[in-house]
Amino acid sequence: MKPTILFYCQHSLGMGHLVRSFALAEALAEVFEVTFLNGGPLPKGMTSPKNIKVINLPALGTEGPDGMLRSRDSRFTVEQAMVYRRKIIHGLFEETKPAVLLIELFPFGRKKFAFELLPLLEAANSHPSRPKIVCSLRDILVNRGGEKQVKHDDRARDQLEKYFDAVLVHTDPGFARLEESFQPTRSSNISVRYTGFVVTPEKAQKVSPPPARRIIVSAGGGIVGAPVFQAAMDAQRDLWETDKIPMTIVTGPFLPESCWERLKARAVDRKDFQLLRYTPDLRSLIKNAFVSVSQCGYNTAMDILRSKVPALIIPYEEGTQSEQLDRAERLQKLGIIRIVRQRDLNGKTFANEIRSLMKFHPEPHKLNLNGTHNTLKTLQEVVANSTALSLEKNSGAKEFSCDGNIA
């Protein structure tokens, strides 16, 4: 009988956390029975892996300058959703009796979901058959800045030490290390494993490549992609008339409806132009693109790394959202992509950068993209050997790569 993993994932702004977590869950299902707790809305047109059990909680998200919780399910108020979610989560923990409790991002993020996660962690930590409790973490964390960042990191460290056995960081340690974006005032002896980057699996049925190579413009889920799409539309006629380059814009399912309608109105009578709300296999479009234009979320970055096409990156960097710019600058330093800051973005700069990319050849890279396999391997070891995540206790933790070597 397969051991069970209870996997919690909450996406709030886009869908990158969900895409990465689904890729991990699909790989883990080769060895584990995976019950997947999805806390945000499932994007229209997106299907979950068939070999895992997905429980869609009453959807919550955050929005607005206050970052307050908002209900994404018309059946529930925020307060009703909170109560119902806690009940479902507790029931599933008791029902599944997981060997591993895998929580995406928390406590490094998702503080507003502590109302359900802390009770879950308390229940797991005190259970007679305590599961291994592991955090699944992306490559780079948001920098909140100043004293606020220090307090956040110290709180996260305390919760890690109280509840968790390990952190799996889904990056190549040569690209980014946890201590670069996580700096509590006191070091921790929590076990940290670098798995390599997580990439989505190849789909059995790919989207047929277009008859002509195109500019592919995308912005993940699309909720904050409007400036990119507007600049692309401003540049499209010029690029077509002077260079005869076709363009496809994939807005993403979370682009606000009002923005989608404005784009549709502007798209009327455009030559060799395509406007899509969603595609199940954006990677195939990027792979066959003339150039890719996008923001720099984790999954988009992975698509660019694998496609090896010339890429123009416009990182999202509103407020404290520094993660995409940090990731993009690291990729640009490796010679893989080119950057335009959103503050400098308009139709003219968009068109000029596309023309410049015609002479740009991305540098080859040796980044580890085996994150799904290495995560599976690590968690297999955890279940088979209760000491697999133990580290020597000292004033500062040693950090291990997925193969057990000190990173």
Residue 210 falls inside a structural domain: no
Q: Are residues 379 and 348 in the same domain?
A: no
Residue 165 falls inside a structural domain: yes
pLDDT tens for each residue of 379-391: 999 888 755 554 3
Q: Are residues 171 and 281 in the same domain?
A: no
pLDDT tens for each residue of 194-237: 999 999 877 654 555 555 689 999 998 888 999 999 999 999 99
Neighbours of 195 (CB within 10 A): 26
Q: Which of 137, 142, 189, 143 is nearest to 167 (CA)?
A: 137
CB under 8 Å, gap of 24 or more: what pairs does 377-380 form? Answer: 377/402, 378/168, 378/193, 378/195, 378/402, 379/5, 379/28, 379/31, 379/32, 379/100, 379/102, 379/132, 379/134, 380/31
DSSP reduced 3-state for 243:
helix
Q: Which of 370, 376, 384 is nearest to 102 (CA)?
A: 376
Q: Are residues 26 and 158 in the same domain?
A: yes
Distance in angstroms (rounded) separating the CA atoms of residues 382 and 345: 47
pLDDT given at position 80? 97
Residue 406 falls inside a structural domain: no
Q: Are residues 333 and 251 in the same domain?
A: yes
Domain of 385, in residue numbers: 4-199+370-401
Q: Are residues 301 and 384 in the same domain?
A: no
Distance in angstroms (rounded) separating the CA atoms of residues 185 and 162: 17
Q: Are residues 178 and 76 in the same domain?
A: yes
Residue 146 falls inside a structural domain: yes
Cross-strand bridge partners of residue 136: 104, 168
pTM: 0.89
Q: Are residues 284 and 180 in the same domain?
A: no
pLDDT given at position 208? 56
Residue 206 falls inside a structural domain: no
Residue 394 falls inside a structural domain: yes
Q: Are residues 17 and 113 in the same domain?
A: yes
* Phi, psi for 250 (deg, rounded to 5): -110, 105
Residue 208 falls inside a structural domain: no
Longest dimension (CA), the chain: 70
Q: Are residues 99 and 33 in the same domain?
A: yes
pLDDT given at position 400? 41
pLDDT tens for each residue of 263-278: 999 999 898 999 999 8
- The total domain count for the chain is 2
pLDDT band at 293 (very low <50, low <70, confident <90, very high): very high
- CATH number of 144's domain: 3.40.50.2000
Residues 6+ apart with CB under 8 A from 15: 40, 43, 46, 220, 221, 252, 253, 254
The string of DSSP codes covering 124-153 is: HHHSTTPPEEEEEE-S------HHHHHHHH
pLDDT given at position 401? 43
Asked if the model's pLDDT at residue 245 lies above 50, the reply is yes
pLDDT tens for each residue of 105-118: 999 999 999 999 99
Residue 331 falls inside a structural domain: yes
Q: Are residues 310 and 245 in the same domain?
A: yes
Cross-strand bridge partners of residue 100: 5, 132
Asked if the model's pLDDT at residue 132 lies above 80, the reply is yes
Distance in angstroms (rounded) separating the CA atoms of residues 8 and 57: 10
Asked if the model's pLDDT at residue 65 lies above 90, the reply is no
Q: Are residues 352 and 382 in the same domain?
A: no
pLDDT given at position 78? 95
Q: Are residues 172 and 240 in the same domain?
A: no
Distance in angstroms (rounded) separating the CA atoms of residues 405 and 407: 6
